[in-house]
Amino acid sequence: MKFEKRILVTGGAGFIGSHVVRLLVRKYPHYQIVNFDKLTYAGNLENLKDVDTAENYSFFKGDIVTASDVKEVFEQFNITDVIHLAAESHVDRSIEGPMDFVMTNVVGTVNLLQQAKASWKEEKEHVFHHVSTDEVYGSLTDEGYFTEQTSYDPRSPYSASKASSDHFVSAYHHTYGLPVKMSNCSNNYGSHHFPEKLIPLMIHNIVQKKPLPVYGKGENVRDWLWVEDHARAIDVIFHNGKVGESYNVGGLNEWTNIDLVRYLCRLMDRKLNRAEGESEELITYVTDRKGHDLRYAIDATKLETELGWKPSITFEEGLENTVDWYLANNDWVEKVTSGTYRTYYSKMYENR
């Protein structure tokens, strides 16, 4: 079969990447979706069991840091477009060890840009969509929102590496005319989220009746978006966004960490038939994260007005849907965190 586009999705076995792959494989049978992933601790082919036999889906195990892997996949599939999600993504890990973040997020991104530049002769026919984070903008006080005009001010090794990758993407557009698009999204939540980030970790620990580690006083604010709405935004920006531009993605849905954890506790007490207030007793305030950004909040007006995107569900609906998924898929959690299944599961997280 001759595919209209052959899209390389990097990091397609990860949390957001797997939702992007699922959406594209189902919605566009005339596109070939090539999932390129190193399968680090965060990448898992279990995430794609429901689409991995589709005719328009292929998997290529490779490392974006290894230029020969990137060249091979471009040549083997005659790649026409890239949606780049592969990254080291956890702030706490970046504080413990920044070098993996420099290698994958910066060097890996530049390898992909180099290969796209070498392979693509006619820029109009291609798109390199770089998926990034709102954390590149730094930290807000109580007021205001991040817009596409906000100056970059990354403050963690993770956000510094993502900001650097964004600058390289922009530079390849300005210098070489590479047809790039960028998106910067707020915190995602949903199914298939590795249980080291706040929401899946708390769900897991509530089920297990383990302590719920809240950093500092729990007053930091995050702006949460359902992962499937992020995947829909990527679809819209990839197809209809303007070349050379970036789009902020977010759901105007701010929560302090402590309010969010308490809400989850109450929701899960009901789901698990526990006495009201039982899970809240598990909340444990722990030492704050170093350099902990106070508040993130996205203004997604550009995406909404120019491209007609808006979130499809409320946070309350999305969170209930997410909790139901974790309760029905405890075997997934066991598999992705168990020493026999994973080649690597950081000691850092074993006791939390």
List interacting residues with ligand TYD (CB under 6 A).
91, 187, 197-198, 201, 213-215, 220, 222, 257, 289
Min. distance of Cβ 213 from ligand TYD in angstroms? 4
- For residue 212, the one-letter residue type is L
Number of residues that bind ligand NAD (CB under 6 A): 31
Q: Select from ligand NAD, ligand TYD, none the partner in contact with residue 220, using the beta carbon and a kind-dependent cut-off of 5 to 8 Å.
A: ligand TYD
Q: Which residues contact 39 (CB under 8 A, 6 or more apart)?
A: 13, 45, 61
User: Which residue shows structure tokens 């992933």?
Assistant: 37
Q: What is the DSSP string of 147-210?
A: -TTSPP---SHHHHHHHHHHHHHHHHHHHH---EEEEEE-EEE-TT--TTSHHHHHHHHHHHT-
Whether residue 134 lies in the annotated active site: yes
Nearer to ligand TYD, 163 or 180 (CB): 163
Nearer to ligand NAD, 108 or 318 (CB): 108
Q: Which residues contact 2 (CB under 8 A, 6 or more apart)?
A: none
Question: Which listed residue (145, 158, 247, 296) is catalytic?
Answer: 158
Nearer to ligand NAD, 88 or 254 (CB): 88
Nearer to ligand NAD, 16 or 201 (CB): 16
Min. distance of Cβ 275 from ligand NAD in angstroms? 32
Whether residue 345 lies in the annotated active site: no
Min. distance of Cβ 234 from ligand NAD in angstroms? 9
Note whether 162 binds ligand NAD by CB under 6 A: yes
Q: Select from ligand NAD, ligand TYD, none the partner in contact with residue 91, using the beta carbon and a kind-dependent cut-off of 5 to 8 Å.
A: ligand TYD
Return the CA Rg of the chain: 20
User: What does the angle CA 44 – CA 49 – CA 50 come to, to the nearest 5 degrees?
Assistant: 140
Question: What is the spatial distance between Cα 221 and Cα 223, in angstroms, rounded to a whole number?
Answer: 7
Note whether 64 binds ligand NAD by CB under 6 A: yes
Mark residues 245-284: x for contact with ligand NAD by CB under 6 A, - for none. Answer: ----------------------------------------
Beta partners for residue 10, in sequence order: 36, 84
Of 149, 150, 155, 109, nearest to 135 by C-alpha is 155
Q: Which residues contact 350 (CB under 8 A, 6 or more apart)?
A: none
User: Is beta strand 254-256 parallel, antiparallel or unpaired with respect to 221-226?
Assistant: antiparallel
Question: Which listed residue (63, 134, 229, 254) is catalytic?
Answer: 134
**Burial (0-12, 13-18, 19+ Cβ within 10 Å), 347:** exposed
Note whether 164 binds ligand NAD by CB under 6 A: no
Stretch that binds ligand NAD, among 22-30, 35-43, 283-291, 344-352 (CB under 6 A): 35-43
Question: What is the spatial distance between Cα 90 and Cα 326, in angstroms, rounded to a whole number?
Answer: 20
Question: What is the spatial distance between Cα 151 and Cα 129, in angstroms, rounded to a whole number?
Answer: 21
- First-residue to last-residue Cα distance in the chain: 49
Q: Select from ligand NAD, ligand TYD, none the partner in contact with residue 201, using the beta carbon and a kind-dependent cut-off of 5 to 8 Å.
A: ligand TYD
Note whether 87 binds ligand NAD by CB under 6 A: yes
Note whether 89 binds ligand NAD by CB under 6 A: yes
Q: Select from ligand NAD, ligand TYD, none the partner in contact with residue 17, using the beta carbon and a kind-dependent cut-off of 5 to 8 Å.
A: ligand NAD
Nearer to ligand NAD, 155 or 271 (CB): 155
Whether residue 158 lies in the annotated active site: yes
Residue among 7, 17, 257, 332 that touches ligand NAD (CB under 6 A):
17
Note whether 224 binds ligand NAD by CB under 6 A: no
Residue nearest to ligand NAD (CB): 14
Contact between residue 21 and residue 7 where contact means Cβ atoms under 8 Å apart:
no
Q: Which two tokens stand for residue 179?
A: 């047809």
Binding site for ligand NAD (CB under 6 A): 10-11, 13-17, 37-40, 42-43, 63-65, 85-89, 104, 108, 131-133, 162, 185, 187-188, 194
Active site residues: 134-135, 158
